[in-house]
Amino acid sequence: MITARIRVSPEDFEVEEQLGFEPDGQGEHLLLWIQKRGVNTAWLGTQLAAWAGVPASSVSWSGMKDRHAVTRQWFSIHLPRRIALEHGPALDGVTVLARSWHGRKLRRGSHRGNRFVITLREVQGDRDAAEAALVAVAERGVPNAFGEQRFGRDAGNLARARSWLAADRPRRLPHEQRGLLLSTARSHLFNLVLAERVRRDDWDRGVPGDCFQLDGSGSWFGPEADITDELHRRVGSGDIHPTGPLWGAGASPATAEAATIEAEALAEEAVLCEGLARFDLRQERRALRLRPMGFSREWLGDDVLRVRFQLPRGCFATAVLAAFCDTVDASQSADYQRSGP
């Protein structure tokens, strides 16, 4: 395992949203393709609303993007009278690259995925071992963990979720905050099950009672009591992936050995499991394995490594980095030069 620093500058962490469809050129929603540097997505949404003279609720985007990065993503502004906004907002670190009309607003999670170009600096460690790990990332994939950003600074979101769900009657919260805490709790439970499967080294192969997700799809099937040669072949080819729980009401659909693994991994988390079960959430599944698309790497000297890959929405670049490198995030240091709000 090597060590390295990431986000030494925003240019070291590039993210490009893959929308998955083309704007139709019609309708009353103005879509803006924006590049931002060192700028928070939600803050930019409020600035676009002020610039367009519309309520903040008229501006939407598909996914939150890293602040300490150079990112390109789409925003939509609802303009019923199709007001011509010829110039982009005068904001540091923000450039409008393209615009188009569309018949619908962008909704959260409507994009297909994200493309990443990440530069790691001050790389130290065994380069040959790093090369072997990089090959394994491309061929085997990586554990599909939720990243630390899902849990907030110092895991503060998780602590708030525990406190909230522990109450006999959880207090009413604004919709956004409620969704954040529920998502945080589910993500933590999934990561616990994934960590146990990683410890057992069966996170990328099926065990009796597993449910499986179709690659590139949210659809899943199972449980499968017997792991047949055909299931082994499909898992090995990347056509399907074993899954872990996104907790909700009722029992996990996993059975047999897979169910035992989940129960033991979550034995100390009754507060979160029981708290989530009280809400209108289904038991859902998430793939335990993540296979980055188009993974490539290049060494820019002895201590600088650049990697490129594409991930489906909801997956984290930090999970890919963790498979071959222990990283130090320079953006969290006190002397980091922040360039925007």
Rounded CA-CA distance 75/84 in Å is 16
Domains of the chain, each with CATH number or no CATH = 2-116+292-332 (3.30.2350.20), 149-290 (3.30.2340.10)
- Averaged pLDDT score across all residues of the chain: 93
Interval 194-226: pLDDT, tens: 999 999 999 999 999 999 999 988 899 999 999
Q: Please identify every residue annotated as catalytic.
A: 66
Per-residue pLDDT of 54-83, as tens digits, reads 999 999 999 999 899 999 999 999 998 777
CB 314 within 8 A of CB 16: no
**Percent over 90 (pLDDT), the chain:** 81
Q: What is the pLDDT of residue 1?
A: 80
Which residue reads 């009401």 in tokens? 249
CA dihedral 301, 291, 246, 15 (to 10 degrees): 50
Q: What is the residue-wise DSSP string for 237-283?
A: HTSEEEEEEE--SS--S--HHHHHHHHHHTTT-HHHHHHHHTSS---
Residue 56, sorted as left (phi over 0), alpha (psi -120 to 50) or beta, turns out to be: alpha
What number of H helices and E strands is found in the chain? 8, 16
Cα–Cα separations (whole angstroms), residue 19 to 38, 70, 166, 172, 276:
21, 17, 38, 34, 31
Q: Write down the residue that tokens 């939407």 correspond to.
A: 60
How far CA 302 is from CA of 27, 122, 325, in Å, comes to 52, 9, 15
Contact 314, 327 (CB under 8 A): no
pLDDT of residue 190: 98
Strand-pair partners of 220: 213
Rounded to whole angstroms, how far apart are CA atoms 33 and 28? 16
Residues with pLDDT less than 50, the chain = none
